């Protein structure tokens, strides 16, 4: 599952990079929780929680339906 998540994140990264940011996959728990770290300007952006839930999580759940939740560290 981790490889599929990384592949899906590769689809998101260009959008984040356009604003000076990136995302790092930190962990995937056995119960389907994906732990990510937003980096660069995304890490301190006031809209980062919306980017995480409405953008990254939506795309990840489309690509990897087993995911239950995406959280930021």
pLDDT at 34: 97
What are the structure tokens assigned to 9, written together?
């994140």
Q: What is the pLDDT of residue 43?
A: 86
Model confidence pLDDT, tens digit, residues 7-61: 999 999 999 999 999 999 999 999 999 999 999 998 888 888 888 988 999 999 9
DSSP, res 1: -
Domain 2-72 fold: GMP Synthetase; Chain A, domain 3 (3.30.300)
User: Please, which pLDDT band fits residue 70 given cuts at 50, 70 and 90?
Assistant: very high
Positive or negative, the CA dihedral 8, 69, 46, 39 is: negative
Residues 6+ apart with CB under 8 A from 47: none
> In this predicted model, what pLDDT tens digit does every residue of 1-16 receive, in sequence order?
999 999 999 999 999 9
Partners of residue 33 on adjacent β-strands: 69
């Amino acid at each position: 599952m981790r490889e599929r998540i990384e592949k899906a994140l590769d689809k998101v990264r260009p959008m984040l990079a356009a604003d000076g940011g990136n995302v790092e996959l930190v962990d995937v728990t056995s119960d389907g929780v994906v732990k990510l770290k937003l980096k660069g300007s995304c890490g301190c952006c006031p809209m980062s929680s919306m980017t995480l839930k409405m953008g990254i999580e939506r795309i990840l759940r489309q690509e990897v339906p087993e995911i239950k939740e995406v959280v930021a560290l």
